Amino acid sequence: MTVHDYFFFVHTEAQGIARPSDYIHNYALMYALNTIDPTVQRQVSSTRPSYEKNGKPNPEEFAHFCIYATPAVRLHQPAYIGFEHSLSIASSTTPTTAPTLVTWNALGEGQVSTTEIAEKRVYPKFGAYVKYPPLTAFGFYTIGCGPSVVRVGKKNTVARILYQPLEINRILKAGELREPTPVTHPVNLLDLHSSAQVRFTTMYIMKPTRLLTGVMLSFKDGDGNMPVVVKARDHLGNLHSVALPDPNLYSCMRYQT
């Protein structure tokens, strides 16, 4: 996914500087990709999507997501892959550029005061934020293909997505993964089935849920016939391992998996 304007969202804020991250949460991506269903369009047009219910993913909302996306990671080098099948990795042929620091000043609430002699004083509010310039690229996996042009980020930045299919070698079931198996993408823990046993190297804290990197999965309980990981190869022969989401949460994708 390559952004065609300045791309910004708040991940952390310290000392008056708001910063994005090298990751895009997959909830944001799925709202951008699933724009065909009128129910999802209604939620996208709202100022607050209802992806949470009692602090957990909302199955009533996520049931409308027929296209699944893993969390995205910023690409530091150009990538191009081409193959055939319904599983794909979204990538860009354009190298990424460095984030840009932008400063601003504005009149915030409570910044105007009036003295006893009716002299009005204005105190400007200063700050800064970091944003990604145009042609910054992010890579992620999808199950199914969505629109080629989407809007993402705080300012609804226009972004173009290039889908390159992967050739599926094997779909592993929960009963086959008794030992930890690595996956090749960041993972949203709440997307996995409750029987998943997760090992990871880094927990990446961001809203609305935390992401895990360097993940290895195993399954000890539950339905042994449930598809949980897809093994696929690109045209160079590189192996990709993609974790499948909980079919009870994303019921629209049961037939695709």
Report the pLDDT averaged over residues 100-113.
63
- Provide the number of structural domains found in the chain: 1
In a domain, 125, yes or no: no
Going from the C-alpha of 68 to that of each of 18, 41, 71, 123, the distances in angstroms are 29, 16, 10, 47
- How far apart, in whole angstroms, are the C-alpha atoms of residue 235 and residue 165? 10
Does residue 107 form part of some domain? no
Predicted local distance difference test score (pLDDT) of residue 149: 92
- Residue 109 in any domain: the answer is no
Q: 216-233 pLDDT, tens per residue?
A: 999 987 678 889 999 999
Kindly report, residue by residue over 6-56, the tens digit of the pLDDT.
Answer: 888 877 666 667 777 889 999 889 888 887 555 554 444 444 566 666 656
For residue 105, list its beta bridge partners.
126
Q: Three-state DSSP class for 36? A: coil
**What residue numbers bound the domain in which 21 lies?**
2-102+130-253
- pLDDT value of position 45: 43
52 within domain boundaries = yes
Q: Is residue 111 part of a domain?
A: no
DSSP 251: G
Within a 10 A sphere around the Cβ of 153, how many other Cβ atoms? 20
